[in-house]
Chain A
Amino acid sequence: MKTQTNRKIIKSTFIYLLLSIFALFFIIPFLWILSTSLKGDAQIFTIPPQWIPETFHWDNYSKVFDRIPFLLYVKNSVFVSAIIITGTVLSSSIVAYSFACLNWPGRNFLFIIVLASMMLPIQVIMIPVFVFFKEIGWLNSFKPLTLPSFLGGSAFSIFLLRQFFLSIPRDLLDSARIDGCSEFRIYWNIVLPNAKPALATVAILTFMFSWNDFLGPLIYLSDQAKGTIALGLGMFVGQYVTEWSLLMAASMLMMLPMLLIFFVFQKYFIQGFIMSGLKD
């Protein structure tokens, strides 16, 4: 018994060691962004690199609020992201269900099309789509950014969820069908609850994408009152001079909500499976 406990201690120490090494690896650039956001412009590119600013320029953060209508942009970004997440999770899950759990003619062929649609670079899709939105009068609004997400979300989410749904045992679905459940009931009551981690992943990744999206807001939003924070960030990059510390401060402000969302959504991921030897 003592050897078992010892082995456990060695194992957990080893795990903590690994976790910490990687944590360092991931956090260093983040710390640099944080430290740069508090520096005056002179100290950013010194040799050797300075981690602790000489004076803490907390005013960099307030300057960000002065230079761009930051709170307004945040509100816009939050709404846009929320709508996109809702549309994506709902529609890509039902489409994925169709591809993964139902059999119908042409299914495999259309799935290849789903994949192929991810392979065309955005630069060439951009212009025809823009012209389309112009013809239906949706320019200079948030509609082109948000409403398409209800039409299947994105090929990426569909693909992801399909792979997850494929690992749900077939017998579960078939027995439900034999019991007389409609396909929609099976989708809503069996598949979705079992795929919470996958759905949470889609939600988080979709949020990341929409929060950081620059190109869409750039061409579809014209009024200043309609900016998003990704656009706001671009204001600090000039033709000859980039205001690094303000850019980093604005980035910090942009990144913190994402960390928060992730931390909150973690509850859909169970704590991880227990090491051997212990009972739940």
Chain B
Amino acid sequence: MIHFKINKFNKQQAVFGILFMMPWFIGFIIFGLYPMIMSIYYSLCRYDVLRIPQFIGFGNYEKLIFEDPYFWISISNTLVYTVLRVPLCIIGSLLLAVLVNNAVRGVKFFRTIYFIPSIVTGVVLSVVWLWMFNPQFGLINSFLAYMGIPGPLWLLDPNWSKPSMVLMSVWSIGGGRMLVFLAALQGVPKHLFEAVDIDGGGWWAKFKNITIPMLSPVIFLWSVLEIIFSLQVFVEAYIMTQGGPLNSTMFYNLYLYNKAFNDFEMGYASALAWLLLVISLIITVIQFRLSKRWVHYDGVTK
């Protein structure tokens, strides 16, 4: 039973709380719940969008888990990618935001340049990196050759293909991510930093004792989001490698896409989607549990 303190305060909050979140709720019913229910249903069927679904119970799930090598290959590829990429990106963006929060002359100009990763997206980004990674005429190997180091085959080598994509996403530590951390930094009261100064602390002391705790809600936010997004990696693999070489970049979402729109197996793809959701949810819930230990909220108590 949920106990209410019967006083005007809480009743007002409860009423307005529910009222204010209504827009999202309505939207969720239409664009979230309804598609979710439909896709659960489709995941229990054979379905190709243009014809009626055929109910087959858990057939899709059985096939996926027990008979489909691509399911396991794509999960492991996606997890490896996520584990490599998320810590690098978050730490990188955070440090970048700290750097860019200094009021030196021309910082506005630098910030705009640092925003470039967010505007180069999708097809164009993948094309640019395809070129950069090219073993023969790409920028990276040309640069390495100039220094006398023979570069690897990058995207064409099954052992290097995932690290290449991780490297590519590290490039995106600028842009929106940096922006979010920057906005959060702006909200930190100056006197806290000045206090460290008075105590004789340097950059690192400020970072460790003020920045990280004060920004922990936002860092937590990005950890959760980055993991969710990383698990759904798609465009890069679709444009650059199509899952190769030797299935080393066959990511989960790419496999799902192939199933949904090339093979027209929408039922199977829906089953894939739901398994991904379950995995993402489990990981997120674990993160939330762990967050109680390190995330520090100044405002409302959770």
* Inter-chain contact B31/A148, CB cutoff 8 Å: yes
* Inter-chain contact A23/B180, CB cutoff 8 Å: no
B247 to chain A, nearest CB (A): 19
Q: Contacts of B218 on A, CB cut-off 8 Å?
A: 163-164
Q: How far is the CA of A201 from the CA of B277 in the complex (A)?
A: 27
Q: A23-B113, A124-B39, A266-B108 are in contact. Are A274 and B103 (CB under 8 A)?
A: yes
Q: A26-B117, A94-B20, A167-B187 are in contact. Are A160 and B180 (CB under 8 A)?
A: yes
Residue of B nearest to A12 (CB): B104
The tally of residues in B whose CB lies under 8 Å from a CB in A reads 112
* Inter-chain contact B118/A208, CB cutoff 8 Å: yes
Q: How far is the CA of A56 from the CA of B117 in the complex (A)?
A: 26
B217 to chain A, nearest CB (A): 5
* Inter-chain contact B23/A150, CB cutoff 8 Å: yes
* Inter-chain contact B34/A271, CB cutoff 8 Å: no
**Digit string of A77-100 for contact with B (CB within 8 Å is 1, else 0)?**
000000000000001101101111
Choose from A103, A119, A152, A197 the contact partner of B23 (Cβ within 8 Å).
A152
Choose from B14, B129, B232, B266 the contact partner of A104 (Cβ within 8 Å).
B14
* Inter-chain contact B127/A164, CB cutoff 8 Å: no
Residue of A nearest to B119 (CB): A258
Choose from A19, A184, A197, A271 the contact partner of B99 (Cβ within 8 Å).
A19
Interface residues of A in 96-115 (CB under 8 A from B): 97-105, 107, 110, 112-115
Interface residues of B in 223-267 (CB under 8 A from A): 224-225, 228, 231-232, 234, 253, 256-257, 260-261, 266
Residue of B nearest to A172 (CB): B299
Residue of A nearest to B215 (CB): A167
Q: Contacts of A277 on B, CB cut-off 8 Å?
A: 197
Q: How far is the CA of A222 from the CA of B185 in the complex (A)?
A: 44
Q: How far is the CA of A273 from the CA of B285 in the complex (A)?
A: 36
Tell me if A's interface is mostly helix, strand, loop or mixed. helix
* Inter-chain contact B176/A205, CB cutoff 8 Å: yes
Q: How far is the CA of A214 from the CA of B124 in the complex (A)?
A: 13
Q: A95-B21, A132-B34 are in contact. Are A119 and B280 (CB under 8 A)?
A: yes
* Inter-chain contact A125/B297, CB cutoff 8 Å: no
* Inter-chain contact A272/B102, CB cutoff 8 Å: yes
* Inter-chain contact A29/B171, CB cutoff 8 Å: yes
A55 to chain B, nearest CB (A): 20
Is the CB of B107 closer than 8 A to any CB of chain A? Answer: yes
A147 to chain B, nearest CB (A): 10
**Digit string of A225-269 for contact with B (CB within 8 Å is 1, else 0)?**
000001001100100000010011001000100110011001001
Residue of A nearest to B107 (CB): A272
Interface residues of B in 88-103 (CB under 8 A from A): 96, 99-103
Residue of A nearest to B203 (CB): A11
Binding site for A on B (CB under 8 A): 2, 9-10, 12-21, 23-28, 30-32, 34-36, 38-39, 42, 49, 96, 99-104, 107-108, 110-125, 127-129, 131-132, 134, 136-139, 142, 171, 174, 176, 179-180, 182-187, 190, 193-194, 197, 214, 217-218, 220-221, 224-225, 228, 231-232, 234, 253, 256-257, 260-261, 266, 269-270, 273-274, 276-277, 280-281, 284-285, 297-301
Question: 7 tightest CB-CB pairs across the interface, nearest first?
Answer: A151-B27, A152-B24, A104-B17, A197-B183, A102-B17, A98-B20, A119-B280
